[in-house]
Amino acid sequence: MKTSGKAKSKSKGKAASRRRDPSESGAGQSRPGQSGPPPRRRGSERVFEGLGVSPGIAIGPIHLSESTEVHAVEYQVPAGRAQGEVERFQAAAEKALRQLKKLRRKASEFHGASAEELGYLLEAHLQMLQSTRLQEGVRRRIVDGRINAESAVMREIEGIAAVFGAMDDAYLASRGKEVREVGYRILRNLTEANFTSFRDLEAGTIIVGEDITPADTALMDPKVIGGFASALGGAEGHTAIMARSLGLPAVLGVPGLLAGVEPGATAIVDGDQGLVIVHPTKRRLAHYQKVRDRLARASAALGKLRNLPAATRDGRVIGLQANLELPSELEQAAVSGAEGIGLLRTEFMFMNRDDLPGEEEQARLLGRIVKGMEGRPVTLRTLDVGGEKLASALGDHLGNPVNPALGLRAIRLSLKVPELLETQFAAMLRAGALGHVRILLPMISSVEEVRDARAILNRVAARLVRQGVAIADPLPPLGVMIEIPGAALAADSLAREADFFAIGTNDLIMYTLAIDRGEEQVAHLYNPLHPAVLRLIQFAIDAALRNDKPVSVCGEMAGDPRYSCLFVGLGVRELSMGPKALPRVKDRIRKMESTAATQLALSAIIQRDPGEIGKLLDAFNLEV
């Protein structure tokens, strides 16, 4: 998110709104809807601006994630599968086309010689990608040679590169490299290859790439990786969420970044200001080292709240739980003082692999987390892939939708492929024998989906009991995510079918305002304080309370202390967030009066203008 107006509306947004070079007052204000100005230079130092999506400061050497080549295995395909391979290739090539066009658009917003150079290069890549020679060549190799799409692409690009390489003209000869780059792009899309080369890196390394996916982020060990930055990506996508969860400072959507960095150069990622500084001056480096130390001290001070309750000054207790993306965050959840896991995104079990995890494997992984929480509640959400969250393991099931966010995502996929849901339910029920488990269904839009899922859950439970397998007894509560506007508006009927609600503000905002949460071009329009969003949230909370059903908020808004007063005032008694965010939210809750928060929420909800709502919240937060 990039505008100052709504930028304050979320933690990383707040960061982006204050995007200023700390040593140059007033510089670098962002412009609505644009991707930011070109880098500023001082000597060899370059300062790039992007979206500060995960707070904190990282200082370290750059590792370019794009430098990895992709290697694919060759195998024969039967005649009947050749057409399917051609379609896989076409889908990967179309994706490459979208990626290149997006990069070209970003490059056009950027000025200067390197931008021009980047523009030419991207144009050349686009032409190559669209050339009949490449398209036809790959198709022919698949159909005539009966080989898989990956090897057809590799062979074809090697063939074209060899033709260029043999030319006398030095310029033309050099184009072989570009052909290979285009080929690797298609291959990466085909294999959904991730940047596995994050090992053996110097501690504190900063990963820089064109587009860093959630699956790439899952491979980053915060003990080794200091932070990351990418040319593409929005503030609300899963890469951003994972960065915050892992506590990795990150800046996404940085125009011209790749043209301006080299591997090994020292860089600073300022996740608060949304800045990437390459070759920092001595003065700048010293400044940032001080900021980093100060942040570490502040975080240690908040750590002291760990064993204190999240209670308002007038005694209203709010349950604070953690969202988990990866099992490795369990320790961080414990350190933050989380009273349970309010949202376990089970997608991690499906990432970075080509096959599907079976019941045994899932039961083992989930069981370990449930056991680790020692009796505290763990909310296990069924698979939520599709949309921006693609798992290669599900490739055939997901197809190639024109509009993935509105397609076969989450519960829709699980109900269409019931074996997926049955396996997950079985694993969850088995994990439930080891502790306190709740089951959560993502992307629910109708009561039928809840009924169908519950019928499957009951059936799976009966089967396991018959087989003598230990499962949760009684059966875990079955809750629904409220993250589609229609679900919020139909919350009364859903409250009768579901055992609890978890409000997913990330998708609720996206679908209400028609803003792709991972798209930096429209990030400035993603506004949590839009009156339509607040009304839907209020509607869902009221329906849950009227029907005596527990309701929590587990979207990113829950982890931003700016909104804590609003949720407390609207009657929410449970918030779930990335573990790193928990101490700051607890601190805010302990400073407020719940009666004052109720008054504030009543005034906020009747405002027409998001700016006014923001002012009310900020004034309230200043006073507490």
The footprint of ligand PEP (CB under 6 A) covers 241, 343, 345, 384, 483, 504-507, 554-555
* Nearest distance, CB of residue 555 and ligand PEP, angstroms: 3
Q: Does 528 bind Mg ion (CB under 5 A)?
A: no
3-class secondary structure, 381: strand
From CA 570, how far away is CA 542, in angstroms rounded? 8
* Nearest distance, CB of residue 343 and ligand PEP, angstroms: 6
Residue 156 binds which entry of ligand PEP, Mg ion, none, CB below 5-8 Å type-dependent: none
* Nearest distance, CB of residue 486 and Mg ion, angstroms: 14
- 38: cis peptide before it, omega within 30°? no
CB 219 within 8 A of CB 200: no
Q: Does 325 bind Mg ion (CB under 5 A)?
A: no
Q: Does 520 bind Mg ion (CB under 5 A)?
A: no
Nearest alpha-carbon partner for 145 in 206, 89, 63: 89
Q: Does 483 bind Mg ion (CB under 5 A)?
A: yes
Q: Percent helix, strand and coil across the chain, each rounded to 5?
A: 55, 15, 35
Residue 554 binds which entry of ligand PEP, Mg ion, none, CB below 5-8 Å type-dependent: ligand PEP
R_g of the chain computed on alpha carbons = 25
Question: In sequence order, what are the residues at sequence separation of 6 or more whose Cβ sits closer than 8 angstroms to the Cβ of residue 84?
Answer: none
* Nearest distance, CB of residue 555 and Mg ion, angstroms: 7
Active-site residue among 238, 279, 524, 530? Answer: 238
Nearer to Mg ion, 62 or 502 (CB): 502
Active site residue 565: no
Q: Does 45 bind Mg ion (CB under 5 A)?
A: no
3-class secondary structure, 480: strand
Q: Tokens standing for 59?
A: 């200082």
Active-site residue among 63, 125, 279, 554? Answer: 554
Choosing from 39, 249, 274, 504, the residue that interacts with Mg ion (CB under 5 A) is: 504
Active site residue 554: yes
Question: In sequence order, what are the residues at sequence separation of 6 or more whose Cβ sits closer than 8 angstroms to the Cβ of residue 137?
Answer: 156, 159, 160
Q: Does 85 bind Mg ion (CB under 5 A)?
A: no
Nearer to ligand PEP, 134 or 344 (CB): 344
Nearer to Mg ion, 483 or 499 (CB): 483
3-class secondary structure, 209: strand
Nearest alpha-carbon partner for 325 in 358, 299, 349: 349
Nearer to Mg ion, 188 or 517 (CB): 517
Residue 339 binds which entry of Mg ion, ligand PEP, none, CB below 5-8 Å type-dependent: none
Nearer to Mg ion, 325 or 483 (CB): 483
* Nearest distance, CB of residue 238 and Mg ion, angstroms: 9
Cα dihedral sign for 533, 613, 590, 334?
Answer: positive
Please give the sequence-ordered ranges of beta strands (E in DSSP) within 231-368, or none if there are none: 250-252, 266-270, 275-278, 319-324, 341-345
Residue 270 binds which entry of Mg ion, ligand PEP, none, CB below 5-8 Å type-dependent: none
Look at the chain and count its residues. 624
Chain positions contacting Mg ion, by CB under 5 A: 483, 504, 507
Q: Which residues are catalytic?
A: 238, 554
